[in-house]
Amino acid sequence: MECAAASAQICGTRKLEVIMKKIALAAALSVAASTAFAGGVAEPVMEPEVVKAATSSSSAGILVPLLLLVIVAAVASN
């Protein structure tokens, strides 16, 4: 498409307008693409649950036989 001598400036302005629209569209698409992939997909990090193990005291293993011994001694002394 060639411009006539009288409308050369109008034709040049139209070409410049088309180029600027293409640049603006490319910039908008590149910004949209970069923000879409900025964070990526990451699996959430979960803290491990702390479970306190139930422990028995060592005195419970000795307490029952000692009580039984005291009861037997009390019965035997009567």
Where in the chain are the domains? 1-37
Two structure tokens written together for 11: 């034709």
- Report whether 35 contacts 27 (CB < 8 A): no
* pLDDT reported for residue 41: 67
Two structure tokens written together for 38: 């900025």
pLDDT value at 10 more than 90: no
Two structure tokens written together for 57: 């005291």
Buried b (16+ CB within 10 A) or exposed e, 3-35: eeeeeeeeeeeeeeeeeeeeeeeeeeeeeeeee
> How do residues 26-71 score in pLDDT, each as one tens digit?
998 888 777 666 566 677 788 888 888 776 666 667 888 888 899 9
pTM score, whole prediction: 0.39
Distance of CA 63 to the CA centre of its chain: 52
* pLDDT reported for residue 43: 77
